Structure 1
């Protein structure tokens, strides 16, 4: 009896257990099928997916607890870099409510079988590489609340059937290649709050039926091919806070009451369309507006004078319209009003019909203002000295106006200024010496004015300057050698059409990164400096219409990338060098009106009449028949005699050379017998002859006897001391620990890598020392320029009681450092004489100068790709063992693969993620298979602000302020930062891919990093 009662009591449990097992096996097979379709799982997310663990405990799997126990209700594996395809068997998870696989590398099509997921509420497949059409059968998923297929490669038309999803709250299909029109039936999606279709190839008009979506909050249709007028019904959606129609072909005007009918509006973006008429004054009634972006349209009339009521306004972009100010009407009232907008960050009024005298109230705009442009208008008057109040300015554009008077000295107080464009005005007076205080200035355009006086030597302090144009002025005096010593100049230096005198300083050879140099139409004299041959990046060289004399220096043969060369209208003489016809990139050459003589070459650039000019040189002969020059008969006879003489000299010279070879052989034999007696004069020192020699005693005295008080760092192969050398000032002396295995070869590698490289973002090697100590021990040291702000390591991870403790790098500073490091590696990988692999990029090897410009150092593990170039055999991978530092080493190096430039890209990706998160790749936080990359990947892109190093936000984002959020982020600035961080993290993740072939090329990294910087600083708005 007892046994029977026990069975009855346990029977429900037995039945339940049997049901659970059955349910588990029902969902087990689809899950295993999904795992089988995944071809790459770098973060080992699916490692737990085995039958020793209950499926409901697998990573990313959530099961129901009550109604349908042990049935899978959620599968979330987003941002794990999974590669493979979507298994159709997922549709067998019949109780699935959430499917989130965004931010991976999934390919193939969206399975048609998903139509059977009738319980599905959330479907997110964004940021993958899915192709094909969107399955119309998704309309059968009648419970769908969120459908996100954005950032894929989906094509075809948007299925009309999707309009049958009655509960849908958000539909995101942006950044695909969808075609066709927006279905009019989308007006039936009565619950829709977000419709995001931007970045496709949609055409036709905006359906009037979208005005039925009474709950719509975000309507984003930008960057398509939409045309026609915006339906009036759209402007009655009172819940809208984001309205983005930019980059289409829409026309018409904005309704006069738009601010009343859309009171919740926070962002209105209509750029790049065909809108016309006035900008409605009622926009100011939408008091929460932060972004007004209406540029590149045909708006007319005055800028509304009441925009100052928008206290949260961050961006006001009205460029390239026909707006008026200055004469009659409201005049400059709008500018006075904008002084109330304390969060105003961008003000763009470029290319309008704004005229009249520039009001002094412009200096009362927000101190948060970083971008101000009034260029290409008809603004007159002078620049008020009070402009110094705009302490947050990073870009100031007043070009192509009618401004007069002097450039105020006070501009030199705008310490954050990076771009200053004042060209094509009527400015007079001198170039202010105070501009030399703008340590972050990158672009300075002062051309086409009436500036007088000399070029200030203080411009030589602008260590970040990439572009300088002061052409078409009345400048006089000599070219400062400090200016042409700026190796940061990389785009162009244009001094043309002035009255400059004197010689072109030999320091011009320090412009090793410059692409274009123009000193034409001045009064320069003397010889063309041979040092110009060091500027091997030069593509355009214009020196015409001066008084240069003598011959064309042979060193110009080194300018292999030269595309245009103009030396016309000078006093140059001698023969035209043969090497000019060997410059394969040269497409234009003008040597006219000089005193050249002899035969004109006939190949290369000389072969095309339109590509070269030699007229006005009466002593030239030969050349292409089209030149119609005299025949070189007499000269040919002289050349024959010269050939005989050369033959005689060759015979005599051969005999002398043979004697010398015999002597050299005897010398080498003796040297071999001496062995270590001459080891201090190693082969690499012979290649270091260009550097000033330094002795052990000099280094000993310079560092106070290598005392601990002078010690500033300890590395893998030695110690670094701070010292002072006569003629070099403060230096950093790296003393090799020769007892450490590989130290001597590290010394060789660093000498070989640095002796022939020149780049503003590489540490400069001054000299080296290979000698013996007074005790007779071997001594090797390298002497570098001293960089006072220490290493990036000290700033990212400061130690207690050190000088950098409590100081943080701001977002802009970190961005600048990342751009600098990328530029250094682009040079090493693609522009150095021999391709160089650094092999040891990490924060301690990135040094910061007084202007916080980054310099990559420590080439002790460097490799040359070519085995016969740069003595690379002395630094082969096998000779130095592990290629890098733990945490930064590319995975393939651990498998014994050869060092490549892709390994450096991996290290760069890790470094970038470390700069953004503040976490070392070797942090104790990473265990159980987690690493820095997978940690970041798990939060990308939705939660980037949660993993960002909060210390860099402390200075710019305080918690005070009426419009700060809970984290202290003010309005649109936090959004801009979040977008910046997301973009940088994306680059870091792509660089640190486990598979080398999936990593970015460093040239693409440079381009994208520069774009990020430009967008963040406002250079590119859309």
Structure 2
């Protein structure tokens, strides 16, 4: 098959998932012009035979995704000097693929534009030598990679998409990221990165946020008047959004006025005590009728919102849904009437704010309701000329406690 250029076995049921599945590659020693070999989405198992090195040196694309191929990536692949696309996503490759002895670190791979190695069990550092490749897509997600993101990878002017999520990468997001002038998608979620976000990236995010917020109008969102940009006393760039003033401050101040904890204060109150959301930068605004398609595409979103208030399924990578908003509302309602934050030290793995309220209802509602609410009611009764008998007072108390039970039940149902 000297003239064979393209061999495509994609999307079949080929292979047994066992050793020896790829031995047929040994029968292609004369396919010296082979440019594309596509074996993806089958049931191929085992490891690459050594004969992979005898395949065409003209091989430009090797597609192996969604199989059960294991072992290390063979060093013999270095003989293929014209690789432009290599896709090994979702297999069983193991080991340190970047040890300097295999083609991914080789100068022979300088034409490489598309590299997909996600969903394996590879470890080690990301090699700086990848910066020599004209990479358009680099997907290393879902492995056990460690170390920092090399500066060389962050200077790839050709890069459109970088997928590094679900690894063990450390360090900060470096200033060189500002050199990715063609960048369309950058996903470094679920790693162990730290450090400030570079100002070049923050500036772009700030401008985009200003543009978005300036277009939004809703009766329960704080109105954005303008934005300002200056330099603080340390000479650092300072940027801020100027919101409508809420005269009654935050709900946080009303609920926990005597505590000095650094908690989010997103719910602000106007002169009529009507709640407004003050910081909704994590929200996603969708055109009407697009929710279902968006939810389908957002199968992995990471944790969004404040700890304790965000729905627990978000922490496990579930879709964004309106159920998450209902959960947050329920937690906030329970906090308002119990006077306890969901992050209170008394809550641990076996006890949550939800369970705290649920276990007390209905008989023990007094034990969980914020004592301030009960004291205020008793003071009001004492000054009332209407409730002047013990029986009337008892009846009134019964109705108040029924209200407490109903409200807490709503919070419990929502959360």
Name the CA distance, whole Å, in 1 between partners of 2:95 and 2:142: 14
Q: How does 1:618-767 map to 2 (within 5 A)?
A: none
1:448 corresponding residue in structure 2: 308
**Contact 2:73–2:102 at 8 Å: present in 1 too?**
no
| Aligned match of 2:201 | 338
Query: In the TM superposition, what are the counterparts of 1:182-201 in structure 2 within 5 Å?
Result: 182-188=48-54, 189-201=56-68
Q: Please, which runs of 5 or more residues in structure 1 have no aligned partner?
A: 1-140, 327-331, 340-359, 370-383, 390-407, 411-423, 450-463, 476-494, 502-517, 523-542, 549-567, 572-1022
Look up the match of 2:5: 145
Query: Which residue does 1:218 correspond to in 2?
Result: 85
Equivalent-residue separation in structure 1 for 2:49 and 2:73 (angstroms): 9
Aligned pairs for 1:839-854 within 5 A:
none
Name the structure 2 match of 1:255.
127
Counterpart in the other structure of 2:32: 166
Structure 2 residue aligned with 1:178 = 44
1:364 and 2:207 correspond: yes
Report how many aligned residue pairs link the two structures.
Answer: 269
SS of residue in 1 equivalent to 2:322: coil
Structure 1 residue 270 displacement after superposition: 0.8
Deviations 1:735-788 (A, max 9, x none): xxxxxxxxxxxxxxxxxxxxxxxxxxxxxxxxxxxxxxxxxxxxxxxxxxxxxx
Task: Label 1:310 to 1:366 Cα distance change in 2 as closer, same or farther (>3 A).
Answer: farther
Q: Is the CA contact (8 Å cut-off) linking 2:225 and 2:244 kept in structure 1? A: no
Displacement of 1:425 in angstroms is 7.5
2:327 matched to which residue of 1? 469
* CA–CA distance in structure 1, aligned partners of residues 285 and 206 of structure 2: 22
Aligned in 2, Cα 1:385/1:216: closer, same or farther, shift over 3 Å?
Answer: farther
Distance in structure 2 (CA, Å) of the matches to 1:426 and 1:280: 35
Counterpart in the other structure of 1:545: 360
Task: Give the alignment partner of residue 334 of structure 2, picking from 491, 496, 511.
Answer: 496
In the alignment, is the contact (CA less than 8 A) between 1:180 and 1:201 conserved in 2? Answer: yes
Q: Secondary structure at the match of 1:143?
A: coil
Kept after mapping to 2: 8 A contact 1:222/1:248: yes
Question: Tell me, what secondary structure is at the counterpart of 1:499?
Answer: helix
> Higher RCO, 1 or 2 (CA under 8 Å, sep at least 6)?
2
Q: Which residue of structure 2 lines up, in the alignment, with residue 319 of structure 1?
A: 189
Residues of 2 paired with 1:247 and 1:297: CA distance? 10
Cα distance in 2 for partners of 1:215, 1:447 equals: 49
Distance 1:446 1:298 in 2: 23
Structure having the higher strand fraction is 1
Q: Please, which of 154, 167, 171 is the counterpart of residue 14 of structure 2?
A: 154
Could you give the per-residue CA deviations for residues 922-952 of structure 1, whole angstroms, max 9, x where no partner exists?
xxxxxxxxxxxxxxxxxxxxxxxxxxxxxxx
Write the distance in 2 (CA, Å) between the matches of 1:368 and 1:182: 52
2:114 maps to 242
Tell me the CA shift for residue 361 of structure 1: 7.0
Measure the CA separation in 2 of the matches of 1:387 and 1:148. 58
Distance 2:67 2:169 in 1: 26
Offset from partner CA, 1:305-339 (integer Å, 9 cap, x none): 1111111111111122222214xxxxx33xx2335
Q: 1:338 to 1:167 in 2, by over 3 A?
A: same
Output the CA distance in 1 between the equivalents of 2:200 and 2:285. Answer: 32
SS of the equivalent of 1:223 reads coil
* TM-score, structure 2 as length reference: 0.55
Q: Secondary structure at the match of 1:313?
A: coil
Once residues 224 and 367 of structure 1 are traced to their aligned partners in structure 2, the CA distance between those partners, rounded to angstroms, is 43
Aligned equivalents of 1:314, 1:387: Cα separation in 2: 30
Q: Report 1:494-893 matches (<5 A).
A: 495-499=333-337, 544-546=359-361, 569=364
Please, what TM-score do these two structures have when normalized by structure 1? 0.24
Offset, 1:183 = 2.7
Tell which structure's C-alpha radius of gyration is larger.
1
2:267 is equivalent to residue 430 of structure 1: yes
Change (3 A) 1:310 1:498: same
Distance 1:387 1:222 in 2: 47
Q: Distance in 1 between matches of 2:211 and 2:164?
A: 21
Q: Could you tell me which residue of structure 2 aligns to residue 275 of structure 1?
A: 145
